[in-house]
Amino acid sequence: MTEAARAGVTLETSEREFAARYAEFAAEGTLYPSREGSPLLEFGVAGRVLYLFDRSGPYAAAPGAARLVVHGVLEPAGLRLLTAQEELREQLHALGVSGVEGRGVVLSVGRQVVVVRARLPLVLGAFGPLPGVQPGDWVVFRTVPPLHGFMAP
């Protein structure tokens, strides 16, 4: 059990509520057919294939065009503002099977969540304090696996 779980810190109240709250930031891409019983969604988006832990339920995601809220949890100290010398260009790199790192522009900031566009919109949660970022700031980030996928309503 993590320190955040012991402290009762949560990033969502329910899968449906989370998907509805961040639906405007859903990424548009292609869901590929998955194996029966697999908890992973294979999602082609922004020139990448991401493997997402399916948070919408076993049969909610049909293959084909799809809108998914892509949610990751930041590593501790996994988000920082870009310095003046760093390039302002969106980047996204897969880490292992289901983590990402990259850079992008902040679209929205909440208490424990920052939405970053880095080739696609990513809803990034933190169990610790976020640095003082505002919409329009450029940041670099790194998540821990797995990324989660929520079907957008």
Average pLDDT across the chain, whole number: 90
Query: Which tops the pLDDT comparison, 136 or 1?
Result: 136
DSSP code at position 111? S
Q: Judge whether 39 lies within some domain.
A: yes
Q: What percent of the chain has pLDDT over 90?
A: 75
Q: Judge whether 54 lies within some domain.
A: yes
Flag the least confident range among 9-13, 20-24, 102-106, 121-125: 9-13
**What phi and psi, each to the nearest 5 degrees, are found at residue 18?**
-65, -45
DSSP code at position 86? S
Which pLDDT belongs to residue 10? 60
Which pLDDT belongs to residue 6? 40
The CA radius of gyration of the chain, in Å to the nearest whole number, is 15
Count of domains observed in the chain: 1
Distances (CA, A) of 26 to 66, 67, 83: 9, 6, 28
- Which secondary structure element, helix H or strand E, spans residue 114, and what is its range? strand 113-117
Q: Judge whether 2 lies within some domain.
A: no
Cis-peptide, bond into residue 146, ω within 30° of zero: yes
Mean pLDDT of 41-47: 95
Query: Which tops the pLDDT comparison, 61 or 20?
Result: 20
Q: Judge whether 10 lies within some domain.
A: no
99-153 per-position pLDDT tens digit = 999 999 999 999 899 999 999 999 999 998 888 999 999 999 999 999 999 999 9
Residue 26: domain span:
15-151
Q: Which amino acid is at 62?
A: A
Res. 21: pLDDT tops 70: yes
Distances (CA, A) of 101 to 14, 20, 86, 92, 136: 26, 25, 15, 6, 19
Q: Judge whether 74 lies within some domain.
A: yes
Q: Judge whether 5 lies within some domain.
A: no
Q: What is the largest CA-CA distance in the chain?
A: 48
DSSP code at position 24? G
CA distance 93 to 100: 6
The model's pTM is: 0.90
Which pLDDT belongs to residue 27? 98
Res. 2: pLDDT tops 60: no
Q: Judge whether 77 lies within some domain.
A: yes
